[in-house]
């Protein structure tokens, strides 16, 4: 149901503004627009919405970098990265940790002095059917809603954008979050010349925020025991909520060391593990996870992460968030796996993108913004010729200068620090071109001022 005419009318919206970064006023212009996608008969079948920011006091943009940003899902608009950290206007929470934030207005948006417009031009992308992007022909859904198909639409969009603004000579970077990291893997392969499609758009760097490659939909050939990769994230949640001694990094690193040595050997031995060692390992797993030793033994030394969300703070009547274990709700109120955290901060992000940011960009349409889309119940195809992590590896082989940054939140129990570390060392990537960074936040590194600043600084330094 809609209050608007069903006929889709593509638009282009322009504005200008300025943002002060490191004490310097940076003028810019913006072009936000519907990018139409057509079938072979010339019929419009979908649109992707882009928000492009250009610094206006630079005469020669030949060597000025362009950064393309996209979120994940699949089915997520770009509001999170746009309003969370990288746009000129940024959502601001009065609580510096941005944890258990208010659900209701007022919300606050402020000028973002961590924006990178002084250094590079910015492009935020809403895929087909998300944000202000639209699926215009339901019969064409299968051309967009799948791993390979989604990446193909992004390849077409980026090619078109580079042509439109004459930016093929510019350094090019991608930043994908969550499923966006999987998209980045496939997209890098398509852009750099997969198979006989010699696209040959060389990328300078890719930032993988909340790595989802190597998870259950994209398994590594030599997959590790899931418990080994999950325990460090469980340890981080335990450290945060129970105020354990030492720093967060020290506690997580000690857990990771245990996983690399005693824990992996114990899981490998299975029933050949003697009783004394079996009990010692169970006690250590219980120490890091805060589950009871009895529960760890019951689960055969492999603690169930969803169970830990419920048990770590059960004695206080609370349960943890999957996307950010710092967030809590009263026990038994979970609204799905992501519900604890995402239901708390989503209203503020929606208000920011549909309110002050939309107004600043002079976007005048009245379309509904699809922050997280269900794709009208279309099935997302999870099959591909090869997994995303192999596509990224192939891209790095073709392009000996491509660099990759893994950026993960300690409190992210969906895309875990252990999983990112494991993929970085087993995905077939040249070690000297891989950067691994971890932050005191959850799935969204821009929630919390300490983490947001550290991540913004690292991304800025990553752009050469």
Per-residue pLDDT of the chain (464 residues; tens, 9 = 90+): 555 666 788 999 999 999 999 999 999 999 999 999 999 999 999 999 999 999 999 999 999 999 999 999 899 999 999 999 999 999 998 888 888 777 889 999 999 999 999 999 999 999 999 999 999 999 999 999 999 999 999 999 999 999 999 999 999 999 999 999 999 999 999 998 765 566 689 999 999 999 998 765 455 555 778 899 999 999 999 999 999 999 999 999 999 999 999 999 999 999 999 999 999 999 999 999 999 999 999 999 999 887 777 788 888 988 888 899 998 888 776 544 556 677 788 999 999 999 999 999 999 999 999 998 765 556 888 878 889 999 999 999 999 999 999 999 999 999 999 999 999 999 999 999 999 999 999 999 999 999 999 999 999 999 98
Quick one: DSSP state of residue 19?
E
Which has the closest alpha carbon to 131: 12, 42, 4, 33? 33
Distance CA 463, CA 170 (A): 12
First to last CA, the chain: 48
Distances (CA, A) of 344 to 191, 284, 338: 37, 33, 10
Cα-trace Rg, the chain = 22
Distance CA 158, CA 178 (A): 20
pLDDT at 375 (0 to 100): 57
Residue spans of the domains in the chain: they are 12-221+345-462, 226-342
Supply angle C-alpha 317, 448, 105, rounded to 5.
Answer: 75
Angle between helices 179-192 and 388-398 (to 10 degrees): 40
pLDDT at 10 (0 to 100): 93
List of residues 6+ apart from 272 with CB closer than 8 A: none
Neighbour count for residue 186 (Cβ, 10 Å): 29
Size (the chain), residues: 464
pLDDT at 345 (0 to 100): 86
Quick one: DSSP state of residue 30?
E
pLDDT at 335 (0 to 100): 47
Per CATH, the homologous superfamily of domain 12-221+345-462 is Alpha/Beta hydrolase fold, catalytic domain (3.40.50.1820)
pLDDT at 390 (0 to 100): 92
Supply angle C-alpha 351, 356, 357, rounded to 5.
Answer: 95
Neighbour count for residue 424 (Cβ, 10 Å): 21
pLDDT at 440 (0 to 100): 97
The HSE-up count of residue 193 (CA atoms within 13 Å, CB side) is: 9
Q: What is the 3-state secondary structure (H, E, C) of 183-237?
A: HHHHHHHHHHCCCCCCCCCCCCEEEEECCCCCCCCCCCCCCCCHHHHHHHHHHHH
Only one residue has tokens 């057509």, namely 38
Q: Which helix (H) or strand (E) holds 18?
A: strand 12-21
Which has the closest alpha carbon to 180: 146, 209, 141? 209
- Pairing label, strands 121-126, 205-209: unpaired
């Amino acid at each position: 149901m809609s209050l608007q005419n069903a006929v889709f009318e593509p638009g282009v919206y322009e504005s200008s503004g300025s943002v002060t970064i490191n004490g310097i006023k940076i003028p810019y212009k913006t072009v936000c627009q519907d990018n139409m996608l057509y079938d072979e008969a010339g019929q419009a079948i979908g649109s992707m919405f882009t928000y492009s920011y250009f610094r206006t006091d630079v005469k020669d943009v030949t060597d000025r970098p362009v950064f393309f940003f996209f979120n994940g899902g699949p089915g997520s608009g770009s509001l999170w990265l746009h309003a969370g950290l990288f746009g000129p206007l940024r959502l601001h929470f009065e609580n510096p940790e941005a944890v258990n934030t208010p659900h209701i207005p007022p919300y606050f948006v402020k000028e973002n002095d961590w924006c990178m417009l002084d250094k590079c031009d910015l492009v935020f992308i809403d895929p087909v059917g998300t944000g202000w992007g639209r699926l215009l022909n339901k019969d064409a859904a299968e051309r967009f809603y799948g791993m390979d198909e989604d990446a193909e639409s992004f390849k077409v969009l980026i090619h078109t954008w580079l042509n439109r603004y004459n930016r093929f000579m510019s350094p090019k970077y991608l930043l994908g979050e969550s499923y966006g990291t999987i998209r980045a893997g496939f997209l890098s392969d398509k852009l750099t010349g997969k198979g006989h499609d010699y696209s040959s758009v060389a990328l300078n760097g890719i930032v993988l925020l909340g790595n989802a490659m190597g998870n259950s939909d994209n398994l590594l050939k030599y997959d590790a025991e899931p418990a080994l990769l999950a325990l460090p994230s469980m340890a981080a949640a335990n450290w945060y909520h129970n105020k354990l001694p030492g720093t967060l990094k020290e506690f997580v690193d000690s857990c990771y060391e245990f996983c690399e040595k005693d824990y992996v050997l114990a899981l490998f031995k299975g029933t050949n593990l003697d009783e004394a060692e079996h009990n010692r390992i169970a006690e250590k797993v219980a120490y890091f996870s805060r589950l009871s030793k009895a529960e760890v033994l019951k689960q055969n030394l492999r603690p169930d992460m969803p169970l830990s969300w419920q048990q770590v703070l059960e004695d206080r009547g609370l349960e943890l968030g999957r996307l950010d274990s710092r967030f809590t709700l009263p026990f038994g109120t979970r609204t799905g796996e992501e519900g604890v955290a995402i239901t708390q901060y989503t209203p503020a992000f929606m208000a920011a993108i549909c309110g002050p940011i939309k107004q600043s960009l002079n976007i005048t349409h009245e379309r509904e913004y699809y922050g997280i889309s269900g794709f009208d119940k279309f099935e997302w195809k999870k099959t591909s010729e090869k997994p995303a992590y192999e596509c990224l590896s192939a891209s790095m082989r073709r392009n000996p200068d491509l660099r990759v940054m893994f950026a993960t939140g300690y409190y992210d129990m969906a895309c875990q620090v252990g999983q990112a570390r494991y993929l970085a060392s087993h995905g077939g990537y040249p070690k000297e071109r891989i950067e691994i960074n971890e932050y005191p936040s959850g799935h969204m590194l821009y929630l919390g001022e300490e983490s947001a600043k550290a991540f913004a600084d690292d991304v800025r330094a990553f752009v050469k």
